[in-house]
Amino acid sequence: MLPAIQNELKTLLLSLHFLTRIPTPFEIDYTPERLSSASRYYPIVGAIIGSVAALAFFLASLALPTIVAVLIATAATALITGAFHEDGLADTFDGISGAYDRARSLEIMTDSRIGTFGALALIIVISTKVAALSSLADTTTIITALIAAHILSRTSTVIVMATSRYAKPEGIAGPQDQTLSPINTIIATFTALVAIAVIALVLTPTTALLATAGAITGHILIRLYFQPKLKGHTGDTLGATQQITELAIYIALATL
């Protein structure tokens, strides 16, 4: 029993190490198989990231206007992740919108320089997230939205990994492109369902339904954008999936 618990802890820590810059205190014993299994804990890591954002927002909101507090919370998530997902968003939009064919899109996405489409995507997505969050009713709603959106949006990336193939033979997401065990998707989805239930309890069932609808809409829209051209996913498109799904949740909640 103890070895099994230790193995799961190492898998969780690998997920944390992969998605954030939070130091991990133990040896993780990296293997490609463990990295693939780590996807089951992406939503839990999302809860950690969202909690950091929520704490940053709460502390800032004690002395600053809501929009400034939301900006600080957004900056906190970029710092804790090393802007990992934002980088994927920019690369995805540069690659998909900056080329006519699949090979050229994949080539552009490996370029570390940011282009016009990537820059515009970052500006529009981040500014819209800040605007949508700032429009929410109160501190409790914003804090709940931050935590839930980071959970649901990372569940969205797991679903992409589980239902499409990796689009290139190498890259940071390559080791994860083994066929995901169904248990990974089940655990990630269960975590998302718990988050939805918490939204319903803390706020209202209508709010939970709106958050779910936003997550589903964002997931579908970003996949319609990159998947027809790439015929699969990359590490960059997973980052874009997280960002667009998170954004869509905030927009959905802003309709309240």
Using one digit for the tens of pLDDT, what is the confidence trace for 172-196?
444 445 567 889 999 999 999 999 9
pTM of the predicted model as reported, rounded to 2 decimal places? 0.93
What pLDDT is stored for residue 76 in this prediction? 97
Distance CA 161, CA 165 (A): 7
Q: Which helix (H) or strand (E) holds 176?
A: none
Q: Comparing C-alpha atoms, which of 253, 247, 242 is closest to residue 18? A: 242
* Residue 69 to residue 60: CA distance in whole angstroms: 5
In percent, the amount of the chain with pLDDT more than 70 equals: 95
* Calpha distance 133→248 (Å, rounded): 11
* Predicted pLDDT at 179: 66
Q: Which is more confidently placed, 170 or 16?
A: 16
Q: Give pLDDT tens digits for 98-141.
A: 888 888 888 889 888 899 999 999 999 999 999 999 999 899 99
